[in-house]
């Protein structure tokens, strides 16, 4: 499982299982927000046709399914990502559900994350350190100091152990 929560109320959750991956997101300012309709409901079609292989994802309370503006999935046998049959608002831009704005960071390019982090945290972020993380090289004190001098390897120990991320004491 992976998740991202932005300070503004937007979020996404990704579940990876033996069948593939499913992503649910919530862009609070989207015209497709459940909060924009009365009664409050997920936009028609967004959760339609989610394969049974991901059924438990839709009932997991931690994922706040009632707060969804987009849902995409890809089974291991699928050739591309799938969505429900959605009629998007006609008067909206191409990102009416907020997915493009929330998922751009998942393009696999460390530069994208570095640029995002510099804007979000309003400070310089060492690209070489970010690249090292993207390449799944062991986390070191030096890399961590470049990314966030206020955090130590010891303070992250339980987090890196939980995700089984490699760590080197140097």
What does the pLDDT read at residue 91? 67
Backbone angles phi, psi at 12, to 5 degrees: -150, 155
Same domain, 85 and 118: no
Q: Last residue of a domain, which of 55, 74, 100?
A: 100
Domain interval for residue 94: 2-100
In a domain, 130, yes or no: yes
Look at residue 167 and tell me if it is in a domain.
no
Residue 147 domain-assigned (yes or no):
yes
Please tell me the total count of domains within the chain.
2
Same domain, 36 and 114: no
Structure confidence at residue 10 as a pLDDT band (50, 70, 90): very high
Mean pLDDT of the chain: 92
Answer for the pair 24, 63: CB distance below 8 angstroms, yes or no. Answer: yes
Which pLDDT value is given to residue 115? Answer: 96
Under the banding of pLDDT at 50, 70 and 90, the label for residue 90 is: confident
């Amino acid at each position: 499982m992976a998740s991202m929560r932005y300070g503004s109320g937007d979020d996404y959750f990704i579940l990876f299982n033996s069948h593939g991956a499913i992503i649910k997101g919530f862009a609070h300012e989207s015209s497709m927000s459940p909060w924009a309709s009365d009664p409050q409901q997920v936009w028609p079609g967004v959760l339609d046709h989610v394969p049974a292989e991901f059924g438990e994802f839709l009932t997991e309370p931690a994922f706040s399914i009632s707060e969804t503006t987009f849902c995409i999935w890809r089974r291991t046998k699928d050739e591309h990502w799938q969505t429900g049959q959605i009629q998007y608002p006609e008067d909206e831009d191409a990102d009416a559900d907020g997915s493009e704005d929330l998922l751009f960071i998942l393009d696999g390019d460390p530069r994208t994350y570095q640029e995002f982090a510099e804007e979000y945290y309003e400070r310089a972020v060492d690209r070489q350190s970010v690249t090292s993380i993207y390449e799944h090289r062991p986390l070191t004190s030096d890399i961590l100091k470049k990314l966030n001098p206020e955090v130590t390897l010891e303070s992250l120990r339980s987090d890196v152990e939980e995700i089984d991320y490699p760590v080197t004491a140097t």
